């Protein structure tokens, strides 16, 4: 067998090992968006809070600039009240190349919101400082909550 043939076969072997590695550490969760929402909701009960409701696609576009078609799944819960900062956004990305720009857009929004509350609404400001922005296996969660640690752990378990 000549040297080129050995190199070609080596590539095939490395490719197979790489695929086995990837499938073993599947980079995208098999959970659906609804399942993740259910798990997170069980922890923070956002859907049971009177002043917070599920927002439509137009609201998502207005708040974050995101188009629902860009993602496999997107859901957003927030309040109409300007003094309420608690909110929850769960996104299942179509591919990881979206992650940076999505995170950047959320971080920018938090920054702008923090600037609004800083100085006159310390409680809201403190909650915004402890915002949650986590990515795991294709899912991204953003939340401003009273219980950020429980929320993160529920999210990580669900995906």
Partner 1 sequence: MLFSSATFLFVFLPIVFLLYFVPVFRDDKKKEITKKNLVLCASSLVFYAWGEPVYIVLMLISIFFNYTIGCDLDKNFADPKTKKRILVFAVIFNLGVLGFFKYYGFVIENINHLFGLSLTHANLALPVGISFYTFQALSYVIDVYRGDVKVQKNLLPFALYITMFPQLIAGPIVQYSDIEAQLKQRTISIRKFAGGVLFFIRGLGKKVLFANFIGAIYTDITSGGVSSLPAVTSWIGIFCYTMQIYFDFSGYSDMAIGLGKMFGFDFIQNFDYPYTASSITDFWRRWHISLSSWFRDYVYIPLGGNRKGTARTIFNICVVWSLTGLWHGAAWNFVAWGAFYGILLILEKFVFKSLLEKIPMPVRHVLTMLIVMIGWVFFSSNSLGEAGSYLLSMTGFGKGGFADAQSRYYLSTSLFPMLVTGLSAFGVFKHFPKPKDKTQRLTVQVVGYLVIFIFCIIYLVSETYNPFLYFRF
Interface residues with partner 1 (CB under 8 A) are 2, 4-5, 7-8, 11-12, 14-15, 18-19, 22-23, 26-30, 56-58, 61, 64-70, 94-102, 104-105, 108, 138
Tokens 């009240």 belong to 81
Nearer to partner 1, 27 or 150 (CB): 27
The CA distance from 112 to 40, in Å, is 26
Nearer to partner 1, 31 or 121 (CB): 31
Residue 39 Cβ, how far from partner 1 at the closest point, in Å? 18
Residue 131 Cβ, how far from partner 1 at the closest point, in Å? 16
Residue 53 belongs to what H/E stretch? strand 52-54
The CA distance from 12 to 57, in Å, is 45
Nearer to partner 1, 44 or 139 (CB): 139
Nearer to partner 1, 95 or 123 (CB): 95
Residue 89 Cβ, how far from partner 1 at the closest point, in Å? 13
Residue 36 Cβ, how far from partner 1 at the closest point, in Å? 14
C-alpha distances out from residue 129 to 7, 40, 59, 107, Å: 53, 20, 23, 11
Token reading at 13? 């072997």
Which residues make Cβ contacts (< 8 Å) with residue 130, sequence separation at least 6?
A: 144, 148
């Amino acid at each position: 067998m000549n040297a080129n043939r050995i190199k070609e076969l080596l590539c095939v072997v490395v490719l197979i090992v790489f695929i086995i590695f990837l499938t073993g550490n599947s980079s995208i969760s098999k959970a659906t968006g609804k399942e993740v929402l259910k798990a997170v909701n069980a922890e923070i009960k956002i859907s049971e809070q009177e002043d917070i409701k599920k927002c439509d696609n137009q609201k998502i576009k207005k708040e974050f600039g995101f188009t629902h078609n860009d993602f496999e799944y997107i859901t957003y819960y927030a309040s109409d009240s300007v003094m309420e900062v608690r909110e929850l956004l769960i996104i299942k990305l179509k591919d990881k190349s979206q992650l940076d720009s999505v995170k950047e857009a959320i971080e920018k929004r938090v920054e702008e919101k923090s600037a609004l509350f800083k100085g006159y609404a310390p409680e809201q400001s403190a909650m915004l400082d402890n915002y949650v922005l986590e990515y795991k296996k294709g899912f991204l969660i953003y939340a401003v909550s009273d219980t950020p640690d429980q929320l993160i752990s529920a999210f990580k378990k669900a995906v």
